[in-house]
Structure 1
């Protein structure tokens, strides 16, 4: 794809969606769902009051805290489960039992444990991020071809050298994939958590605008801001995949 196409095609698609949006509002005659210009005015109103920046900051801080905790705990555990079969047989059934439970199902427990505040939201984001990171890391280590291990041993590598120079580089694509999946889920969960457990953030903005004054222009503005930040986060993690490919010699199409 040519460089200009990477920009022009998404912009063209966005213009089409906005046109459909405007047409749908006019054809339906709705007085509830706002036109794009009202959403833009609402966004400017929030920015002028200084609310938008603080809400974005609060949401990103919660995601960052929960995601970092999941990364610090999940990658070492995933490596251990992938490296040691006995550890996998011991802990994998428990992980697979807890993994399908929606993080939102933990909201009542998180409020009981931590109360209404940032800690409850961070706990939910941690849970949402932890399991994708653990499972992808574990699978990445387990799927390293046995010939890679044997070749490293034949070259006289110690266990630490084998991990650092063979297993970790080979498992890194799966690990980065887990990080990308976890980040997307974390961003989804923080919005839901903020609607219930805290009094700031983009999720709180949406529910407060709906309940306080039926300001659907602010509701849609919050939704669009969530989508734009999610796109930026996903783009950043995809850049990380590119750096990984360059560093370790993998080609990523």
Structure 2
């Protein structure tokens, strides 16, 4: 019985997180690379950043109703800005001397991105993805307590409302913690693999 709640939560986290990564990372790299873009978008980013994703719950329900789309939307919002800021920071941290050296060697823009810019930002992006995945997992549990009728968050609230099913409440909390640990371990393994490859390529 618990499996269906786990699958529902993982489904929402996967879609919300991947959609946020697909949009936030390219946009953040562009904003970080072009100074004028950073100056134009920074005020909007700083206004939106302090707003908790859970504050969007009424709007999510109004737009999408009670269901998967509302939860995915909230996870998307919770993941988008952290990934966007990570990508901006990663792009801005690339030493200009690397880019200038690539240009001096006659690298085309596509080769410049793939050989210099992309390897330079990748380690920081992986760290940002790992941290943001943890945020997404937190958001889905909170969103499921209000915006949907399935998932681990819903399981905890439903078991509490039943009055005497605190065994399910405890089970849900343990499962949430274990899955969060497994997700972090998975991202850590990716980070280590990339670090090993990065070190090998430099040798």
User: Same fold, TM exceeding 0.5?
Assistant: yes
1:206 partnered with 2:169: no
Which residue of 12, 30, 35 corresponds with 1:85? 35
1:147 partnered with 2:79: no
> Separation in 2 of the partners of 1:53 and 1:97?
39
Q: Which runs of 5+ in 2 are unaligned?
A: none
Deviations 1:123-164 (A, max 9, x none): 000000111111101100111111111111111111111111
Matching residue of 1:215: 165
Matching residue of 1:109: 59
1:63 partnered with 2:16: no
CA contact (8 A) 1:79 1:138 kept: yes
How far 1:247 sits from its partner (Å)? 2.2
TM-score, length-scaled by structure 1: 0.77
CA contact (8 A) 1:71 1:130 kept: yes
1:193 partnered with 2:150: no
Deviations 1:89-125 (A, max 9, x none): 1112111211121101110110011111110000000
> Separation in 2 of the partners of 1:218 and 1:250?
48
Which residue of 187, 192, 195 corresponds with 1:237? 187
Matching residue of 1:125: 75
> Separation in 2 of the partners of 1:147 and 1:182?
30
Matching residue of 1:16: none
Which residue of 99, 107, 115 corresponds with 1:165? 115
> Separation in 2 of the partners of 1:114 and 1:250?
48
CA contact (8 A) 1:58 1:200 kept: yes
> Separation in 1 of the partners of 2:139 and 2:22?
19
Check 1:250–1:90 CA distance in 2 against 1; reply closer, same or farther (3 A cut): farther
> Separation in 1 of the partners of 2:151 and 2:172?
10
How far 1:248 sits from its partner (Å)? 2.2
Matching residue of 1:36: none
Task: Indicate the structure whose relative CO is greater, using CA pairs within 8 Å and at least 6 residues apart.
Answer: 2
How far 1:250 sits from its partner (Å)? 7.7
Q: Which runs of 5+ in 1 are unaligned?
A: 1-50
Structure possessing the higher radius of gyration over alpha carbons: 1
How far 1:213 sits from its partner (Å)? 2.7
CA contact (8 A) 1:244 1:250 kept: no
1:180 partnered with 2:130: yes
